[in-house]
Amino acid sequence: MPDADLVVALAGNPNTGKSSIFNALTGASQHVGNWPGKTVASAHGTCTAHGVTLDIVDLPGTYSLDAASPEEVIARNHLISGEPDVVVVVVDASNLERNLYLAVQVLEIGLPTVVALTMVDVAERQGIAVDPEALADSLDVRVVPLVARDRGATAGLVDTLVAMSMERTP
| 61: CATH | 3.40.50.300
Asked whether 54 and 46 are in contact (CB, 8 A), the reply is: yes
Number of helical (H) and strand (E) elements in the chain, helices listed first: 6, 6
Pairing of strands 6-12, 86-92: parallel
Among 7-21, 105-119, 136-150, the least confident range: 136-150
Mean per-residue pLDDT of the chain: 85
Given this model, what pLDDT does residue 41 score? 64
Task: Specify if 153 maps to a domain.
Answer: yes
Percentage of the chain exceeding pLDDT 90: 49
**Whether pLDDT at 126 is above 90:** yes
Task: Specify if 48 maps to a domain.
Answer: yes
Given this model, what pLDDT does residue 67 score? 73
- Average pLDDT of the segment spanning 122-141: 94
Q: Is the pTM of this model over 0.85?
A: yes
Please count the other Cβ atoms lying within 10 Å of the Cβ belonging to residue 8: 25
Summarize pLDDT for 26-75 with one digit per residue, the tens.
Answer: 886 554 444 344 445 678 888 889 999 999 999 989 999 987 788 888 88
> What's the maximum distance between 2 C-alpha atoms anywhere in the chain?
45
Task: Specify if 50 maps to a domain.
Answer: yes
Task: Specify if 1 maps to a domain.
Answer: no
Task: Specify if 135 maps to a domain.
Answer: yes
C-alpha dihedral over 75, 169, 116, 60, to 10 degrees?
-10
> For residue 104, what pLDDT band results from cuts at 50, 70 and 90?
very high
**How many domains are there within the chain?**
1
**Whether pLDDT at 120 is above 60:** yes
Given this model, what pLDDT does residue 34 score? 41
Task: Specify if 45 maps to a domain.
Answer: yes
CA distance 73 to 66: 8
The domain of 51 spans 6-168
